[in-house]
Amino acid sequence: GAGVSQSPSNKVTEKGKDVELRCDPISGHTALYWYRQSLGQGLEFLIYFQGNSAPDKSGLPSDRFSAERTGGSVSTLTIQRTQQEDSAVYLCASSSASGTSGRDTQYFGPGTRLTVL
Amino acid sequence: GNSVTQMEGPVTLSEEAFLTINCTYTATGYPSLFWYVQYPGEGLQLLLKATKADDKGSNKGFEATYRKETTSFHLEKGSVQVSDSAVYFCALKSGGSYIPTFGRGTSLIVHP
């Protein structure tokens, strides 16, 4: 079946502009994660959605970052007034279960490479 | 809190050489352990996992054994190929927590 998809694959924007990144999880997956991967760094957790529950936003680095998930499926990560330090690869992952089992496997999308000039 | 420490890269090998990428962890309880691989321009893919002590995960010639006594999950492959060039991430996930902990990744470069 189809995996996790993300769009756009690349986004170049000017400092101060807003951007929207989209994630389509695997059908039926209730858990959805956003991560940020900066050059040479590991994965930085941003936000977690589980079903209709309130999202865990504890990883969002500033109030310029927000995310929503409509209908328990597609998610959009929005970055307002982008800064150069926002340049990174933004990865989305989904999981079939609640995510609280240690055995749960995450399936990652290919990522969106964001460049802020 | 939980943490994962991986050896720093890049690791540079010739084709058919033996590979070891070290990974140690700190965690509460009994976490599951994972290795993910990220090929250039792609997202992370699960390579293998182990969910309890002494389990061995294996896939595509790669192996890793969950060693609770040394809190380690080292990745090994007997004979690497050029196509194995990628970044490898060790990760753990504790039961009851929905946020996994990732290492910083180790870049592997295999020369013909």
Q: Rounded to a whole number, what is the distance in Å from the CA of B49 to chain A's nearest CA? A: 9
pLDDT (tens digit per residue) in A86-109: 999 999 999 886 655 556 788 999
pLDDT (tens digit per residue) in A8-42: 999 999 999 999 999 999 998 989 999 999 876 77
Q: What is the pLDDT of residue B109?
A: 97
Sign (positive or negative) of CA dihedral B1, A42, A103, A70: positive
Q: Assign B97 a pLDDT band (cuts: 50, 70, 90).
A: confident
All residues of chain A having their beta carbon less than 8 Å from the beta carbon of residue B9 are: none
pLDDT at B65 over 60: yes
All residues of chain B having their beta carbon less than 8 Å from the beta carbon of residue A4 are: 43
CA distance A80 to A16: 7
Q: What is the pLDDT of residue A100?
A: 57
Q: Assign B16 a pLDDT band (cuts: 50, 70, 90).
A: very high
What's the average model confidence in pLDDT over A48-72?
A: 90
**A111 vs B31, B43, B100: nearest CB:** B43
CA distance A22 to A111: 10
| Residue type present at position A58 | S
CA distance A63 to B37: 31
pLDDT (tens digit per residue) in A51-61: 888 899 999 99
**B105 vs A42, A59, A107: nearest CB:** A42
pLDDT at A2 over 90: no
Strands (E), chain A: 5-7, 10-13, 19-24, 31-37, 43-50, 65-69, 75-79, 88-95, 107-108, 112-116
* For testing contact with chain A, the best of B93, B94, B102 (most A CBs within 10 A): B93
pLDDT at A72 over 80: no
Q: What is the pLDDT of residue A45?
A: 92
All residues of chain B having their beta carbon less than 8 Å from the beta carbon of residue A101 are: 95
| Residue type present at position A5 | S
Please name every residue paired with A116 in a beta bridge, in sequence order, or none if there are none: A13
Q: What is the pLDDT of residue A106?
A: 87
Q: Assign B78 a pLDDT band (cuts: 50, 70, 90).
A: very high
With an 8 Å Cβ cutoff, the interface of chain A facing chain B consists of 4, 6, 31, 33, 41-43, 45, 48, 50, 56, 59, 91, 93, 98-111
